[in-house]
Amino acid sequence: MGELIAVLSGKGGTGKTSLCAGIAAALAERGEQVLCIDCDVGLQNLDLALGLSNAGALSFLDICRGAYPLSAATRHPKYPNLAFLTAPVNCRAEDIDKAAFSDMLRTARAQFRYIFLDAPAGLDAGFQLCASLADRVILVTNGDAAAVRDAARTAQILEGMGKHDVRLVVNRTNKKLYKTMCLTVDDVMDEAALPLLGIVPNDPNVTLATVFDEPLLKYTKKGAAAACRRIARRIQGLPVPVSIR
Ligand SMILES: Nc1ncnc2c1ncn2[C@@H]1O[C@H](COP(=O)(O)OP(=O)(O)O)[C@@H](O)[C@H]1O
Ligand SMILES: [Mg+2]
């Protein structure tokens, strides 16, 4: 039975989509069957982060409505184990038929080991849909005070929803900046009151990879790509220590 992992944050622009793509690719690289679903209806960009901007992928709505079988989801040309469904453009999150979406995920659980839901920013319908269905949540923040506060609030909301497997990823860490801000990853963890799944450094390759329509992990082995690979191994339950210095 596959596991459903929602990638969430209260605040926009923290790196949900980039990390969803990087971690999913890392798991596929390790031989796992992975499905990535862009749930950011109207603003989809997971295709870009996966290096699939020209793939003309089906949307999850195409599957939910029964127009295509799940097996028609786009297969990544560079990761045969990685399938992808984009978000529909002309749709609002509140109009998604939750029963049909859940049915599609039930089928997906039988075919994939990990199913990633790349959620929209905010706490509205798209967030609720992804969070309510998830087995595990990856909550992405960066060191900005606003993002950390939003992560703390989001963590409380998730707790209220009965979500117990919620782990934090601190994205875009920068030693120099953290020093100037007198900030540590410990502080971020304390404020969000969540266990840490990983730390991802600020790395211009995340943006550059999308410019060249390459998946991050094919573009570089270092920095954020290496961090995504470590996170993937932790998701598989392997003991990979997190260094917070
Ligand atoms: N670790 C990182 N280092 C540098 N830039 C990053 C990193 N993570 C994300 N970004 C950049 O930040 C911006 C927002 O990232 P994105 O993944 O779209 O966030 P979200 O999905 O949370 O809105 C993008 O331009 C992306 O390239
Ligand atoms: Mg996004």
Residue identified by tokens 């598989």 is: 236
Q: How far apart are CA 118 and CA 135, in angstroms?
A: 14
DSSP state of 77: T
State which residues of the chain have pLDDT below 70.
Answer: 244-245
Structure pTM?
A: 0.96
> What residue owns the CA closest to ligand 1's atom 8?
15
Is residue 245 situated within a structural domain?
A: no
Q: Name residue 117's beta-bridge partners.
A: 6, 37
Ligand 1: residue of 47, 138, 206 to mutate (most ligand atoms within 8 A of CB) is 206
> What residue owns the CA closest to ligand 1's atom 27?
207
Answer whether 231 contacts ligand 1 (Cβ < 6 A).
no
Atom of ligand 1 nearest to the CA of 172: 1
Is residue 67 situated within a structural domain?
A: yes
pLDDT of residue 86: 96
Long-range Cβ pairs for the range 54-59 (8 Å, 24+): 54/213, 55/84, 57/84, 57/85, 57/86, 58/85, 58/86, 59/85, 59/86, 59/87, 59/88, 59/89
DSSP state of 75: E
Q: State the total domains in the chain.
A: 1
CATH code: domain of residue 230: 3.40.50.300
Q: State the maximum Cα–Cα separation within the chain, in Å, rounded to a whole number.
A: 54
Is residue 134 situated within a structural domain?
A: yes
Is residue 44 situated within a structural domain?
A: yes
Closest CA to 104 of 79, 131, 73, 75: 73
Q: How far apart are CA 145 and CA 151, in angstroms?
A: 10
**pLDDT, tens digit, for every residue of 170-228?**
999 988 887 887 778 888 888 888 899 999 999 999 999 999 999 999 999 999 999 99
> What residue owns the CA closest to ligand 1's atom 2?
202
Q: Tell me the residue range of the domain where 29 lies.
A: 3-235
Is residue 242 situated within a structural domain?
A: no
